[in-house]
Structure 1
Amino acid sequence: MRFPKLAFVFMFVGCLVVYLTYVKRHYDDSKPQLPDQLPLHRMDIHKQSTSAQVVSESFQYGIMFDAGSTGTRIHIFKFQIEPNEAPKLAHETFRAIKPGLSAYADDPEKSKEGLLELLNVAKDTVPETLWSSSPLMLRATAGLRLLPGEKATILLDKVREVFSESLFLYRPDSVSIMDGTDEGMSAWITINFLLGVLHGTESPKVGMLDLGGGSTQITFALQDEKTIQSLPLDYVTSFQMFNISHALYSYSKNVVMCLNKSFDCCVYVFSVAGPQELVSPCLAPDYSGQWEHAEVLYTVKGQKAGEPIYETCLTKVEKMIYKRVRKIEGVKDVDFYAFSYYYDRAVDLGLIDESTGGSVKVSDYIEGAKKVCNNMAAGGIKESPFLCLDLTYISVLLQELDFPPDKELKLARQINDVETSWALGATFHCIESIHKHGTC
């Protein structure tokens, strides 16, 4: 029996369709599955070359609120994610407002305005299609750590209420008070990541010194197992990041801050001369100013004329810090970056450029304190009445931490145009934790 030619054509086309369908299904089934992770934004970039080439990049956003003692800051990080590689920071958006969240302890409702203002910055920065996959976090530091527990809890609940309506990826545990040790660890991660030495096992890591509005932190990597065994467990923290294990010494102390003129500091560095009247040997004899704390207005005055300001101020500060700060062996052998008030007071002394930073020695703070205090005794530096106190405080603190006078510290507000705060390190930790455990 003979088939027409048209029938053979139909049979051939049908077989071809069946074969191609089978090949496509087999190819789809054999493709590797992506690991379970947060949704990532994928962008294809076509580059012109001798042969057409497509480079595919994935991006992940993380939004961190830093609720500090003097202000609230938002960091919006854009990370470039590539398979089997550590994330790269593609961009950071930063904004800050004052006062700090703790200033609303007696009226939490007023905190909403500032939070919403910063959230609008995030919404303007992150593409709307990515809001639901971009973690939103807040970490409060010393300002809230020093509040009575109930007031801090009410403030954080107000933050959770605002965040829950934001449309970003939010979990209640993403809002919390940060432990001082975690603050130091996160800042250490940030600095070493920005310097490009966090991913390698051979590169020496740098240490971190911070002096904020209500606490001080010192964090550095531990290399020697005997040293690790000899230290108190409270000060040693271990963690893994980018498949590398790190052991850190991280010491944090709510050292009462003269630099912030806190009330606790006044108890130690000032003397009560009468109702709402405080006197300090670290101020000029003719100085008189007003200072409000807890809705009480104090008059702050300098000591009587004739006594040496630097020597009496030094004695008072040494008594304040004595046994409140722990000496740390080995710091002289580690390179350190220092931030916050270390930076600001070095600018005041003219030791570094305000915008670019630089390096100073511990002895620069010691000599700066002597010079400023002596000039103040002679009637100078009236525009910065607390500078003598601040510099004396810093110089004593560094020596109590066992830094020798010739130890050099690097000072920076930014590295590669990124703020040198703990926020980047904490954001890394949160995103990794969400990937692995579903919590921050």
Structure 2
Amino acid sequence: ISEGRRPGRHRRPKSWAGCGGRQICGSLPFFLTHSALARMPSQTRSSLILLLLLVAMATAEALRRTPREQPVITDGVDSGAEFEDASSSPPPSPQQPPPADSVYIVILDAGSSGTRAVAYQFRVKRSSLIGLEYISVYKRKSDQGLSNFERNPPRCRKMLQDLLGEVADGIPREVRGKTVAILRATAGFRLMKDSARAKIAKEARDVLRRSAFRIPNKDAELVRMLSGSDEAKYSWIAVNYLLGNFQEEGAATKPIVEMGGGSLQVAFEDPKLAAAADGEGGGATFRLHGGRTYAVHTHSYLGLGFRESVLRIIGYQQPDSEEKAWAQVSTPCLAPNLALNFSFGSTNIGVMGESSVGGERRVSICSGLARRLVQQLDVHDEVELAGDGANWPLYGIGSIYFLAQFLQQRRLVPDIRPDEATCQAMVSRGLRCGAFAGTVGDFTAAARQVCSDPPRASRFPPYYCISTSVVSALLSQGLRLPETARITVLGNNDALGWSLGLGLEFLASAESGGSPSASPRCGDVVSLAMVAMMMQLLRRLS
């Protein structure tokens, strides 16, 4: 309806002058019926209506995709999350555009002991064997893993949304919509029931689709549970990449052992090993940008992770019903009369150190329990399959680093010392580094020292009698390494972990051509449709 005129006086205007020239035609029906467009064929007019609807849809999509202010995260009941500032570099300034050759990837690392959102930045470097140069990492963390939501899957949404909102600060705004985000779950997820896994995966897929990031073309790549073989391979890639072993043609790679919360992984290159299908044991392949393909022996031992091994050593059995979930368990492998609450995923129990056991008897009992666990899980001398031993030392990452750091700080085993040579090589390439070196015999001595007088203070050290006993049994009994075999433990680098290996392979793969293969978002599809409809309408008007 036009302003200042009665509608009846403008039923059949001849042109736009029918609005009085100086007046506003303020409604869509008036626009379509009181203009020259009213004489358009009905098909053309329908196309115009559809075009306007597409404009409205695109506007709504853009508003929905606009990053919102994230709520303050607390460790209260609603979020249950405790975030740490784990970035190795500050987030880039919004005013500073990223280099033209930069590529990013966001990986939600859903581990056993927490969930991390990791944003990696690389520079495309075609001259290198791997095709990518690591630039920076920005990481945010929640102490909750996906297994915490096994009994209430929808509650995982807020935790994931908050993590994605936090990690977006590590990526310039103008490239967020081009950056692929994916989720990979590890051992804690593998321990859950199938029905709970399916529900949580559905919630996670929906959160990622609604985020500010892009999604892969293949829906199966959006949210996946990593096999043990995958986790071992990606950890092996990460360690050898940071050590610079993919920089020169023919450089030797190093074997690795990675201790997570629920599982422990072993991986090493073995040219004599034919690559097998992915699984908990067997082989995997990794292909460099330069064309070289590595055959990597991989194995994952579900139950030898830091937290899961505690549950198995103390003999805890998961109850069938939620009503029976709480339990009080005693163990000789804690300090006498020390009472603690132990949490892992959806398991929350009370643990008490037995007062009747001490000294050498505790050492013997806990060592025996660890050896029995290693035997039950059929850990065998895989590393010796690598042949002539030229790949030594073995490199350890994950919880093993914190064990070695504790032992060195307390000077319980003097021969476990900082590895200055390894760190100098990494620091010279602009990488942060923490490293300790020792032998299999040193870790066996450490287990005896810690178990003879178990720590009482702090969050994790009270369980180090169990952890050092498990590591000692793994190295000496499971992998059958001699006491003089060298172990170098790496840490203090936020990029160090299987997610770095995944990011490198994903971005450098032939399928993605050095950049993530991703599906266009809904707004992109709508924009293309708008252009097509506009072209069609212009052709008809002409």
SS across alignment from 1:204: coil
Structure 1 residue aligned with 2:368:
315
Residue of 137, 161, 168 corresponding to 2:206: 161
Counterpart of 2:503?
427
Query: Which residue of structure 1 lines up, in the alignment, with residue 480 of structure 2?
Result: 402
The 1:291/1:323 distance shift into structure 2, 3 A limit, reads: closer
Distance in 2 separating the partners of 1:216 and 1:296:
22
Cα distance, 1:222 vs structure 2: 1.0
* Pick aligned residue for 1:361 from 424, 429, 439: 439
The letter for the 1-side match of 2:177 is: S
CA distance in 2, matches of 1:204, 1:299: 45
- In structure 2, the gaps of 5 or more residues are 1-98, 318-325, 409-415, 420-432, 520-542
Alignment of 1:38-437 (within 5 A): 57-85=100-128, 86-171=131-216, 172-173=219-220, 174-223=222-271, 225=272, 228=274, 234-242=281-289, 243-257=291-305, 259-260=307-308, 263-267=311-315, 276-291=327-342, 297-302=349-354, 304-305=356-357, 308-324=361-377, 325-328=379-382, 329-330=384-385, 332-334=389-391, 335-350=393-408, 351=416, 356-376=434-454, 381-383=455-457, 384-399=461-476, 400-414=478-492, 417-431=493-507, 432=509, 434-435=511-512
The one-letter code of the counterpart of 2:164 is L
In the TM superposition, residue 245 of structure 1 has moved relative to its aligned partner by 0.7
Find the aligned partners of 1:323 and 1:356 in 2 and give their Cα distance: 33
Give the AA of the match of 1:237. A
- Once residues 283 and 433 of structure 1 are traced to their aligned partners in structure 2, the CA distance between those partners, rounded to angstroms, is 51
Q: Please report how far the alpha carbon of residue 123 of structure 1 lies from its aligned counterpart in structure 2 after TM superposition.
A: 2.6
How many residues are treated as equivalent by the alignment? 373
Q: CA deviation at 1:439?
A: 7.4
Report the Cα distance in structure 2 between the residues aligned to 1:96 and 1:166, rounded to whole angstroms.
18
C-alpha distance in structure 1 between counterparts of 2:347 and 2:495, whole Å: 34
Offset of 1:265 from its aligned partner? 4.0
User: Percent of aligned positions with the same letter in both sequences?
Assistant: 22
Distance in 2 separating the partners of 1:352 and 1:158: 45
Q: Which residue of 1 aligns with 2:531?
A: none
Where does structure 1 lack aligned partners over 5 or more consecutive residues?
Answer: 1-55, 270-274
Deviations 1:33-78 (A, max 9, x none): xxxxxxxxxxxxxxxxxxxxxxx95121111111111111122111
Equivalent position of 1:46 in the other structure = none
Conserved 8 A contact 1:256-1:265: no
Q: Distance in 1 between matches of 2:207 and 2:251?
A: 42
Distance in 1 between the 2:121 and 2:254 partners?
24
CA contact (8 A) 1:258 1:266 kept: no
For residues 353 and 108 of structure 1, do their structure 2 counterparts lie closer, same or farther at Cα, with a shift above 3 Å needed? Answer: farther
SS in 2 for 1:282: coil
Deviations 1:101-124 (A, max 9, x none): 221122222222222222123332
Shift in alpha-carbon separation, 1:292–1:81, aligned structure 2, 3 A: closer
Q: How many Å separate the matches in 2 of 1:394 and 1:370?
A: 12
More strand by share: 1
When residues 72 and 434 of structure 1 are mapped into structure 2, their CA distance, relative to the original with a 3 A threshold, is farther
The alpha-carbon deviation at position 296 of structure 1 amounts to 6.4
Normalized against structure 1, the TM-score is what?
0.76
Given that 1:283 and 1:309 are in contact with CA atoms closer than 8 Å, whether structure 2 keeps it comes out as no
Name the CA distance, whole Å, in 2 between partners of 1:231 and 1:140: 19
2:381 counterpart letter in structure 1:
K
